[in-house]
A and B are shown apart, each in its own frame.
Chain A
Amino acid sequence: SQQGEEDPQALSIQEGENATMNCSYKTSINNLQWYRQNSGRGLVHLILIRSNEREKHSGRLRVTLDTSKKRSSLFITASRAADTASYFCATDRNDMRFGAGTRLTVKP
């Protein structure tokens, strides 16, 4: 399966700091997506980055993709307590698979 593997498993930072989460995958992809999940809820799509893109922005979020290393990173700038959630990456290939996620805690 074309599953993304997120790291770290957990991340705890202070409000205002920047957060970095990573995703590794194993084979070639057409696109990679990042999702957020607030506690006990469904996943919400954040950003889709295609294999021919290297970087993408959405508000305080920035996603990079390095296809040579098979790695993507999600950066959250000036984090807020409301950013506390689990973050997942998923890659395509007929169907989407998700890793175990990174649990981000932003302390006020």
Chain B
Amino acid sequence: DVKVTQSSRYLVKRTGEKVFLECVQDMDHENMFWYRQDPGLGLRLIYFSYDVKMKEKGDIPEGYSVSREKKERFSLILESASTNQTSMYLCASTWDIQETQYFGPGTRLLVL
């Protein structure tokens, strides 16, 4: 059974802290994605990766970076968290960029 896990369901951080959000998939998928979801704005793509050590910017990469050192793990990094990064963060993976995406349960991040 397909599984995408995210390191935390809820996270509270302070402004200026460095934040790591981890995503792990067990399906040997090439492609992984990070989205943020805010009320009324839907899902917005932050970054995606189509292979180990490869990354592409999405629509809103500012203030974020990513790391893909191993195929199964895709990390989202907030170098210096700000209050406007309070959001729900969703990770997804897929074997083919045009096919079904499998989502993790999401991490709700609150930056104080």
Contact = CB atoms under 8 A, between A and B. Distances in A.
Contacts of B90: 42-43
Give chain A's interface secondary structure class. Answer: loop
B100 A44 contact: no
Nearest to A43: B103
Contacts, number: 60
Give chain B's interface secondary structure class. Answer: strand
Given A41-B106, A44-B103, A30 B43 contact: no
Contact of B40 (A30, A94, A100): A100
A45 B97 contact: no
A40 B35 CA distance: 14
Contact of B4 (A31, A40, A42, A94): A42
Contacts of A44: 103
Query: In which size bucket is the chain A interface?
Result: 20 to 34
B48 A88 contact: no
Interface of A: 1, 30-31, 33, 35, 40-45, 48, 88, 90, 92-101
Report the 10 A-B pairs with minimum CB-CB distance, sorted nearest first.
A42-B103, A100-B42, A92-B98, A98-B43, A43-B103, A45-B100, A42-B105, A42-B106, A99-B42, A42-B104
